[in-house]
Amino acid sequence: MPHFGFPLETLVIFFCVVLASIYLDLIAHKNSTEITVSNSAKWSVFWFCLAIGFYAYVWVRFSKAWADLYLAGYMLEKSLSVDNLIVFMAIFSSFGIKGILQHRILYWGILGALVFRAVFVVIGTGLFLASPWIGFLFAAFVAWSAVKMLQRSKDDETIEDFSDHWSVRLTGKLMPIYTQLYLHRFFIKHWEFQTNDQLDKSRITRSGTIHATPAFLCLMAIETSDIAFSFDSVPAVIAVTQEPLLVYAAMIFAILGLRSLYFVLAALTRYLVHLEKAVIALLFFIAVKMALQSWNHAVGDSGFHISPSASLLVVFGLLTAGVVASLLFPTQPVSVHQDE
Write the pLDDT tens digit of every residue in 256-291. 887 788 888 777 777 777 877 887 888 888 788 878
**Mean pLDDT in residue range 112-133:** 66
Residues 63-81: tens digit of each pLDDT? 888 888 888 888 878 877 7
pLDDT digits (tens, 9 = 90+) for 124-142: 545 555 556 666 777 787 7
Q: What is the pLDDT of residue 55?
A: 92
* pTM of the predicted structure, to 2 decimals: 0.74
Mean pLDDT for all residues in the chain: 78
**Amino acid present at 273:** V
Give the Cα separation of 101 and 340 in Å (integer): 8
**Phi, psi of 47, deg, nearest 5:** -65, -35
Q: Is the pLDDT of residue 157 over 50?
A: yes
State the average pLDDT over residues 160-164: 70
Confidence class for position 60, pLDDT limits 50, 70, 90: very high
Contacts of residue 25, Cβ cutoff 8 Å, sequence gap at least 6: 43, 107
Tell me the average pLDDT across 87-107. 82
pLDDT digits (tens, 9 = 90+) for 207-229: 888 999 999 999 998 888 877 77
The neighbouring-strand residues paired with 189 are 210
Model confidence over 78-94: pLDDT tens digits?
A: 877 777 788 888 888 88
